[in-house]
Chain A
Amino acid sequence: MAEFDRDTGTAFWPHALYDLLRGAGVSQFAYVPDAGHKVLIDRSLADPDAQSIPLTTEEEGVALLAGADLGGARGVLLMQSSGVGNCINMLSLIAGGRFPFLTLVSMRGEFGEGNPWQFPMGQAVVPVLEAMGVICLRAEHPDEVIPTVSAALTMAFQSGQAVAVLLTQKLIGAKSF
């Protein structure tokens, strides 16, 4: 199967990913926008049965997803790697309350990055998340996205773990700006 729509140049996997999340009962899509999450955000905005929740900063999303769980709903936090740093202290809530937690992180500051300002946080994403008890899974090829997020969904919502799926720059493309 082709990995990209020939007419628009966009990848197919983000649409399959949205369908996967919705099929797994995820209804709250909280985000600080990033180009890597454009399809998921647009699909959530157009979905009458999902809540599309723009945040002012990523740590709001950590608390919001804890609230979603308290209310019996499932959510996902969509953010760029730079936003991971904003969440660190708030992840205490997830660890202490043993909340399920799923975030999809679009990476900067790694494979092929053209902006030197992105490297410190990009390179710190995995050690920082792991230090706060979040399990990190990487997706580097379009074929890996669905199985990786499927695994993350099970780990988060069946096993009650905190899980981040890193959508790497090998997958989404390095930015030159």
Chain B
Amino acid sequence: MSFAANHPRHRNDAKVMSRADLTARLVARLHHEEAVIGGIGYANFDLWGAGHRPQNFYMLGSMGLAVPIALGVAIAQPARRVVALEGDGSVLMQLGALATVAGLRPANLVIVIWDNGAYQITGGQPTAAAAAADLVAIARGAGIAQSAWAADESDFEEMIARALTEDGPWLIGCRIDAVKPVATTERDPARIRDRFMRGIAVGG
């Protein structure tokens, strides 16, 4: 509970930050070929924009699958940290996946939620997170005890540093703004898969 106690209690208490900036801060801390599974939409575009890594997998097809894909990688690669980046709309579509993660307790899994309260890529329509849903509270209720909102950029960096070294699973909620990414991810799924598998040296 100490993890949660040192961070904003509610979504509305967290600072609204830049997704591109936070993504760059995250990527700058990856020094051990950590796997990153980007969720559909702008989460992936900013991940690509932060500089392509062979250990990035860009999920571009269906909402909500970054977390279960990352879980499969985390179970298959227990010695490697695996980070899932997912938007609030996508997490809302697969809330059950949080309970699945909580039940399996993968120590090497880190979930980062980019919450701007909007389906930004389709025109900014509000999500249930904008209305009332607190995804960190939902994650904690699902059983991921180490779930918390990042208060600001330095808090985010401290949380990432801890999540990359100490036993998880971890879930870090980030309020983000509505700025559009400057980059666009490449699209060929078979090529993305092949490059990722070569990037973590499991063939392809």
A interface residue numbers (CB < 8 A to B): 27-28, 51, 53-57, 59-73, 75, 89-90, 92-93, 96-99
Contacts and interface: CB of A to CB of B under 8 A. Distances in A.
6 contacts: A28-B76, A55-B100, A66-B65, A71-B35, A71-B76, A97-B193
A68 B76 contact: yes
Interface residues on B, range: 20 to 34
A61 B202 CA distance: 21
Contacts of B131: none
Nearest to A72: B202
The secondary structure that dominates the B interface is helix
Nearest to A56: B96
Nearest to A30: B72
Given A64-B72, A92-B61, A71 B193 contact: no
Interface in B63-100: 65, 68-77, 94, 96-97, 99-100
Contact of B75 (A68, A89, A96, A99): A68
Contacts of A27: 76
Given A70-B57, A71-B77, A97 B192 contact: yes
A28 B62 contact: no
Contacts of B37: 67
B195 to A, nearest CB: 11
Contacts of A71: 35, 72-77, 200, 202
Contacts of A67: 37, 68-76
B75 A53 contact: yes
A35 to B, nearest CB: 21
B104 interface: yes
B28 interface: no
A28 B193 CA distance: 19
Nearest to B75: A51
A60 B190 contact: no
Nearest to B202: A72
A92 B72 contact: no
B97 A60 contact: yes
A15 to B, nearest CB: 24
Nearest to A90: B62
A111 B163 CA distance: 51
Nearest to B57: A70
A68 B72 contact: yes
B98 to A, nearest CB: 9
A2 to B, nearest CB: 37
B189 A93 contact: yes
Given A56-B100, A97-B189, 10 more contacts: A27-B76, A53-B104, A56-B97, A56-B99, A60-B94, A66-B72, A67-B70, A89-B62, A96-B189, A99-B193
A89 B63 CA distance: 10
Q: Lowest 8 A-B CB distances belong to which pairs?
A: A67-B72, A71-B76, A56-B96, A72-B202, A73-B76, A96-B189, A63-B68, A63-B65
B26 interface: no
Given A51-B75, A89-B62, A93-B62, A70 B69 contact: yes
Contacts of A68: 72-73, 75-76
